[in-house]
Structure 1
Amino acid sequence: MLRERSLLLQRLLFGADLALIALAWVIAWVVRFEVLTPPQWVPLSQYLGFLPFVLAVWAGVLLVSGLYRTRRAQRLTLVAYAVARAVALGLVVSLGALFFYREFSFSRLHVGLFALIASVLLVGLRFGIYTVLRRGRQSGKNVRRVLIVGAGKAGQRLARAFRHYPWMGFEVIGFLDDREGAVEAEPPDPLYPEVVERPDVLGPVSAVASLLDRHAPEGGGGIDMVYAALPLSAADKIQEVADACARHTAHLCLVPDLFGLDLLNSRISDVDGLPVIHLMDEAPLDIRQVIKRTGDVAFSLAALVLLAPVLAVIAVAVKLSSPGPVLYRQTRMGLNGQNFEILKFRSMPVDAEAKTGAVWSTKGETRATRVGSFLRRTSLDELPQFWNVLMGDMSVVGPRPERPALIEDFRHQIPGYMLRHKTKAGITGWAQVHGWRGDTSLTKRIEYDLYYIQNWSLWLDLKIVVMTVFKGFVHENAH
Structure 2
Amino acid sequence: MLLERSLLLQRGLFAADLVLIALAWVLAWTVRFEVLTPPEWVSLGAYLGFLPFVLVVWGGVFLLSGLYQTRRAQRLPLMVFAVARAVALGVAASVAALFFFREFSFSRLHMLLFGAISSALLVALRTAIYAALRQARERGHNVRRVLIVGAGKAGQRLARAFQHYPWMGFEVVGFLDDRGDAVDAEPADPFYPGQEAAPRVIGPVRDIGAVLDRLGGVDMVYAALPLSAADKIEAVAEACTTRTAHLCLVPDILGLDLLLNSRVSDVDGLPVIHLLDEAPFDVRQIVKRAADVAFSLAALVLTSPLLALIAAAVKLSSPGPVLYRQTRMGLNGQTFEILKFRSMPVGVEAQSGAVWSRRGEARATPVGAFLRRTSLDELPQFLNVLRGDMSVVGPRPERPALIEGFRHQIPGYMLRHKMNAGITGWAQVHGWRGDTSLEKRIEFDLFYIRNWSLGMDVKILFLTLFRGFVHENAH
Query: TM-score when scaled to structure 2?
Result: 0.98
Counterpart Cα distance in 1 of 2:171 and 2:129: 20
DSSP-derived class of the 1:95 partner: helix
Take 1:122 and 1:156, find their aligned partners in 2: how far apart are those partners?
35
Query: What's the CA shift for 1:250?
Result: 0.6
2:109 matches 1:113: no
Give the letter aligned to residue 232 of structure 1. L
Q: Partner residue of 2:225?
A: 230
Separation (CA, whole Å) in 2 of partners of 1:57 and 1:19: 14
More divergent stretch after superposition (438-447 vs 231-240): 231-240
Return the alpha-carbon distance in structure 1 between the equivalents of residues 379 and 35 of structure 2. Answer: 52
Q: Which residue of the partner structure matches residue 254 of structure 1?
A: 249
Alignment of 1:332 with 2:328, yes or no, is yes
Residue 395 of structure 1 corresponds to 391
Q: Which range is displaced more, 57-66 or 151-160?
A: 151-160
Cα distance in 1 between the residues matched to 2:294 and 2:238: 56
Counterpart position of 1:377: 373
1:405 maps to what in 2? 401
What is aligned with 2:273? 277
Q: CA deviation at 1:203?
A: 1.4
Q: Residue 348 of structure 2: SS of its match in structure 1?
A: coil
What residue in structure 2 maps to residue 177 of structure 1? 177
Give the superposition deviation at 1:195.
Answer: 3.2
What are the equivalent positions in structure 2 for 1:87-98 lying under 5 Å apart? 87-98=87-98
Which stretch has the larger CA shift, 348-357 or 77-86?
348-357
Q: Distance in 2 between matches of 1:181 and 1:366?
A: 65
- Once residues 371 and 37 of structure 1 are traced to their aligned partners in structure 2, the CA distance between those partners, rounded to angstroms, is 61
Point out the more displaced range, 425-434 or 266-275.
266-275
Q: Give a deviation string over 1:414-453, Cα, whole Å, max 9, x none.
A: 1110000000000000011111111111111100000000
Equivalent residue, structure 1, for 2:100:
100
How far has the Cα of 1:121 moved from its partner?
Answer: 1.1
Letter aligned with residue 384 of structure 1:
P
Report the AA paired with residue 235 of structure 1. Answer: A
Read off the aligned partner of 1:90 and give its amino acid letter: G
Q: 1:74 to 1:337 in 2, by over 3 A?
A: same
Superposition misfits of 4+ residues, deviation over 3 angstroms? none
Q: CA deviation at 1:35?
A: 2.1
User: Is the 2:160–2:195 contact (alpha carbons within 8 Å) kept by the matching residues of 1?
Assistant: no
Q: Given the alignment of the two structures, is residue 312 of structure 1 paired with residue 347 of structure 2, yes or no?
A: no
In structure 1, the residue matched to 2:42 is 42
**Using the alignment, how far apart are the partners of 1:35 and 1:348 within structure 2?**
66
How far apart, in 1, do the equivalents of 2:288 and 2:397 lie? 18
CA distance in structure 1 between the aligned counterparts of 2:301 and 2:86, rounded to whole angstroms: 38
* Partner residue in 2 for 1:85: 85
The alpha-carbon deviation at position 74 of structure 1 amounts to: 0.3
Residue type of the partner of 1:233?
S
Aligned counterparts, 1:341-360, within 5 A: 341-360=337-356
- Structure 2: distance between partners of 1:104 and 1:379: 58
- 1:280 and 1:95 map into 2 onto residues whose CA distance is 39
- The answer as to whether partners of 2:433 and 2:474 remain within 8 angstroms in 1 is yes
Question: Whole-Å Cα distance in 2 between the matches of residues 409 and 244 of structure 1?
Answer: 51
Residues 24, 118 of structure 2: 8 Å contact kept:
yes
Question: Contact between 2:176 and 2:204, CA under 8 Å: does it hold in 1?
Answer: yes
Partner in structure 2 of residue 208 of structure 1: 208
**Once the 2 structures are TM-superposed, how far is the Cα of residue 403 of structure 1 from its aligned partner?**
0.4
8 Å contact kept, 2:300–2:382: yes
Give the letter aligned to residue 243 of structure 1: E
Shift of 1:411: 0.6
Which 10-residue stretch deviates more, 180-189 or 366-375?
Answer: 180-189
8 Å contact kept, 2:58–2:90: yes
C-alpha distance in 2, partners of 1:377/1:259? 42
CA positional deviation for 1:174: 0.7
1:16 offset after TM fit, Å?
1.1
Alpha-carbon distance between aligned partners in 2 of 1:43 and 1:305, rounded to the nearest angstrom: 48
- 1:436 matched to 2:394? The reply is no
Counterpart position of 2:165:
165
Distance 2:298 2:35 in 1: 41
Instruction: Give the Cα–Cα distance (whole angstroms) in 1 for the partners of residues 468 and 35 of structure 2.
Output: 52
- Give the whole-Å Cα distance in 2 for the aligned partners of 1:377 and 1:272: 54
1:108-136 Cα distance to aligned partner (Å, 9 max, x none): 11111111111111111111111221111
Residue 323 (structure 1) aligned with residue 289 (structure 2): no
Aligned length: 474
**Is residue 2:290 matched to residue 1:294?**
yes
1:285 Cα deviation from its structure 2 partner: 1.6
Quote the residue 2:448 is aligned against.
Answer: 452
In structure 2, C-alpha distance between the alignment counterparts of 1:464 and 1:203, rounded to whole Å: 50
Deviation at 1:213, TM superposition (A): 2.1
Post-superposition Cα deviations, 1:240-294, rounded to whole Å, max 9, x if no partner, equal 2112112211111111222233222222111111111112111122111111111
Q: TM-score, normalised by structure 1?
A: 0.97
Distance 1:354 1:331 in 2: 14
What is the rounded CA distance, in whole Å, between the counterparts of 1:47 and 1:7 in structure 2?
A: 33
Unaligned residue ranges in structure 2 (runs of 5+): none
Cα offset for 1:189? 2.2
Instruction: Give 5+ residue unaligned stretches, structure 1.
Output: 217-221
Report what 1:219 is aligned to: none
Q: Secondary structure, in 3 states, of the residue corresponding to 1:396?
A: strand
Question: 1:158 offset after TM fit, Å?
Answer: 0.9
Moved more, 405-414 or 362-371: 362-371
Paired-residue identity, %: 76
The answer (yes or no) to whether the contact 2:153–2:255 under 8 Å persists in 1 is: no
Between 393-402 and 308-317, the greater mean CA deviation after superposition: 308-317
Q: d(CA) in 2 for partners of 1:374 and 1:165?
A: 54
Amino acid at match of 1:259: L
| Root-mean-square deviation (Å) | 1.1
Counterpart Cα distance in 1 of 2:233 and 2:473: 51
Q: 2 CA distance for matches of 1:366 and 1:241?
A: 68
How far is the alpha carbon of 1:187 from its aligned partner? 2.6
Q: Alpha-carbon deviations, 1:26-68, whole Å to 9, x = none? A: 1111222222231211111111111111111011101101011
What SS does the aligned partner of 1:342 have?
strand
Query: SS at the partner of 2:178?
Result: coil
Corresponding position: 1:155 with 2:150? no
Distance 1:362 1:175 in 2: 56
